[in-house]
C-alpha cells in the first residue's frame, strides 16, 4: 500500500517533466484601416501611397461625408504616427510638443483647411504632397485627420481639446527612391490563441503569429508562406500578408501578422516554418519553431496508462518475484 500511495506523486512528476520537455527553446504599422466613421464624419479612402522624387509634387483626393443631423466644421490636423509594434494599428502622435519623427511629412503637406459640411453632404478634398529638394531617399508618413465641430462652436472650441477628440484619419505613405535600404528579419513565430497570446501546451492554438522587423529606411511589404507540420506531414499552409494592398511594416519598426492556423487536432509535436521575402523577392528570410499539443484528455489517458503500468508491475512483482525472494 505504501508504494500505491506514492503513485500519484510519481505521475504528477512525470507529467510535469513531460511538459517541460514539450516547451520549445527558442505592423501603426502599415495602417491597414478600412474606410470608417468617427466624430460624425466618414472618410474614404483611408490610405494613400505616393512615390515621388525630390522637388516633385503630387496630388491625391479624399471624400469626406457629414453623417450627423447638423452642420459641422471638419477641423483639419496633420500628425505624425508611429508603429504600435504589434497589430498594424497606427499610434497617432497628437502632442505637438513631442519631437517629430525622422519620417514626418509635415513639411510636405501645407494646404490644410477646415471644411464646412452640411448634413448628409459629401465633399471632395484634394491635397498636394511636395517633396523638398533636399529630401533624402526613404520612407515618410503621416496622418491627415478631421474632427467634427458643430457649426457655430468653432471659435469657442479649445484647439487642443478638439485635436484629442474622436476623428477620422487618412494615412499618407511617401516613398522617395534612391539609396533605400531594404532589410527585414523574422524576430519570432508563435502558435497563439484567439486573443493573439501564446497558448499552454494542453490547448490547441488557432492562429500563427509571424513577427517581422523592418531594419531598413524604406517601407517593407513582406510576403511569403507559413507551413505547419506534424512530423513530416503538412497539416496547414497559408500566404503571409496576403491582402490588397499589402500591409506595410514601417522603417525601424516591427509588426506581427496573425493568421488562422487549422488542423492542429491530433496530440503531438508540431512545427511552424515561415519563409518571408521582401522587395523584389530576391531574398527569403526563414524561421522555424516547434510546439506541443497535449490536450487534457490525452494527458488523462497517459496518466491512466502509467498507473496501470506501475500497478501491474507491482502486482507482478508481488506474485512472481517476492515469493522467490522469501524462499531464498
CB atoms within 10 A of CB 214: 29
User: Residue 314 in contact with residue 4, Cβ under 8 Å?
Assistant: yes
DSSP 37-59: EETTEEEE--EEEEE--TT-EEE
Average pLDDT of the residues of the chain: 83
Among 125, 150, 176, the domain-final residue is 176
For 43-47, 259-263, 317-321, which range has the lowest pLDDT when averaged over its residues?
A: 317-321
Total domains in the fold of the chain: 2
What pLDDT digit, counting tens, does each position of 6-18 carry?
A: 334 433 343 333 3
Is 233 within the bounds of a domain?
yes
Q: Which domain holds residue 95?
A: 36-176
Domain termination site, one of 113, 146, 176: 176
Which residue, of 126, 142, 176, is where some domain finishes?
176
Name the one residue in this structure whose C-alpha cell is 513577427. Answer: 211
Query: Is the pLDDT score of 260 beyond 90?
Result: yes
SS3 content of the chain, % helix, strand, coil (to 5): 20, 40, 40
Sequence-ordered alpha helix ranges (H) in the chain? 2-22, 159-164, 296-316, 322-327
Q: What is the mean pLDDT of residues 98-118?
A: 89
Instruction: Report the C-alpha gap between 1 and 120 in whole angstroms.
Output: 83
Q: At what angle do helices 2-22 and 296-316 cross, to 10 degrees?
A: 140
Same domain, 119 and 223: no
**Claim to verify: residue 50 and residue 127 sit in the same structural domain:** yes
d(CA 314, CA 183): 62
Quick one: pLDDT at residue 311? Answer: 83
Higher pLDDT, 314 or 324: 314
**Residue 141 sits in the same domain as residue 268:** no
Residues 22, 60 within the same domain: no
Check if the beta carbon of residue 174 is closer than 8 Å to that of residue 105: yes
How high is the pLDDT of residue 123? 96
Q: Would residue 276 count as lying in a domain?
A: yes
On whether both 171 and 214 belong to a single domain, the answer is no
Residue 78, pLDDT > 90, answer: yes
More confident residue, 240 or 17: 240
| 310: in domain | no
> Do 272 and 197 have their domain in common?
yes
Mapped onto helix, strand or coil, the DSSP state of residue 108 is: coil
Distance, in Å, from the CA atom of 253 to the CA atom of 246, rounded to the nearest integer, reads 16
CA-wise closest residue to 127 among 105, 147, 148, 149: 105
Cis before 11? omega within 30: no
Residues 135 and 239 in one domain: no
Do 9 and 126 lie in one domain? The reply is no
Q: Do 133 and 189 sit in the same domain of this protein?
A: no
CB of 141 within 8 A of CB of 34? no
The pLDDT of residue 166 is 72
Structure-model confidence comparison of residues 63 and 320, the more confident one: 63
Same domain, 10 and 57: no
What pLDDT digit, counting tens, does each position of 19-71 carry?
A: 333 333 223 344 444 344 446 899 999 999 999 999 999 999 999 999 989 99
Same domain for 146 and 86, yes or no, is yes
Least Cα distance to 143 among 49, 65, 229, 77 occurs for 77
Q: What is the pLDDT of residue 85?
A: 80
> Which of 14-28, 45-59, 94-108, 180-194 is least confident?
14-28
Q: What is the pLDDT of residue 162?
A: 58
Is 319 inside any structural domain?
no
Q: Residue 197 has what DSSP assignment?
A: S
Mean pLDDT to the nearest integer, 178-202: 93
Give me the CATH number covering residue 163: 2.60.40.10
pLDDT at 272 exceeding the cut of 90: yes
CB atoms < 10 A from the CB of 287, how many? Answer: 19
**Is the same domain home to 59 and 100?**
yes
Whether 57 maps to a domain, the answer reads: yes
Amino acid at each position: 500500500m505504501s508504494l500505491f500511495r506514492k503513485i500519484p506523486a510519481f505521475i504528477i512528476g512525470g507529467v510535469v517533466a513531460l511538459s517541460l520537455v514539450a516547451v520549445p527553446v527558442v505592423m501603426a504599422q502599415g495602417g491597414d484601416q478600412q474606410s470608417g466613421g468617427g466624430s460624425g464624419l466618414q472618410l474614404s479612402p483611408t490610405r494613400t501611397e505616393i512615390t515621388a522624387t525630390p522637388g516633385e509634387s503630387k496630388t491625391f483626393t479624399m471624400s469626406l461625408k457629414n453623417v450627423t443631423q447638423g452642420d459641422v466644421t471638419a477641423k483639419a490636423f496633420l500628425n505624425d504616427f508611429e508603429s504600435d509594434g504589434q497589430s498594424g494599428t497606427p499610434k497617432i502622435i497628437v502632442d505637438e510638443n513631442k519631437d517629430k519623427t525622422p519620417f514626418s511629412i509635415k513639411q510636405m503637406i501645407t494646404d490644410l483647411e477646415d471644411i464646412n459640411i452640411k448634413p448628409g453632404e459629401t465633399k471632395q478634398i484634394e491635397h498636394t504632397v511636395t517633396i523638398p529638394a533636399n529630401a533624402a531617399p526613404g520612407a515618410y508618413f503621416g496622418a491627415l485627420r478631421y474632427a467634427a465641430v458643430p457649426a457655430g462652436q468653432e471659435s469657442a472650441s479649445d484647439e487642443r481639446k478638439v485635436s484629442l477628440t474622436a476623428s477620422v484619419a487618412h494615412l499618407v505613405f511617401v516613398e522617395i527612391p534612391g539609396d533605400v535600404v531594404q532589410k527585414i528579419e523574422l524576430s519570432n513565430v508563435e502558435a497563439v490563441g484567439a486573443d493573439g497570446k501564446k497558448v499552454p501546451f494542453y490547448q490547441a492554438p488557432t492562429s500563427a503569429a509571424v513577427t517581422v522587423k523592418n531594419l531598413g529606411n524604406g517601407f517593407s511589404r513582406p510576403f511569403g508562406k507559413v507551413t505547419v507540420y506534424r512530423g513530416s506531414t503538412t497539416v496547414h499552409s497559408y500566404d503571409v500578408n496576403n491582402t490588397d494592398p499589402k500591409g506595410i511594416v514601417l522603417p525601424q519598426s516591427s509588426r506581427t501578422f496573425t493568421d488562422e492556423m487549422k488542423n492542429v487536432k491530433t496530440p503531438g509535436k508540431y512545427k511552424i516554418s515561415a519563409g518571408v521575402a521582401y522587395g523584389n523577392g530576391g531574398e527569403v528570410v526563414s524561421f522555424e519553431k516547434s510546439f506541443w499539443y497535449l490536450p487534457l484528455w490525452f494527458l488523462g489517458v497517459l496518466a491512466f496508462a502509467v498507473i496501470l503500468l506501475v500497478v501491474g508491475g507491482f502486482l507482478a512483482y508481488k506474485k512472481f518475484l517476492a515469493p522467490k525472494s522469501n524462499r531464498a
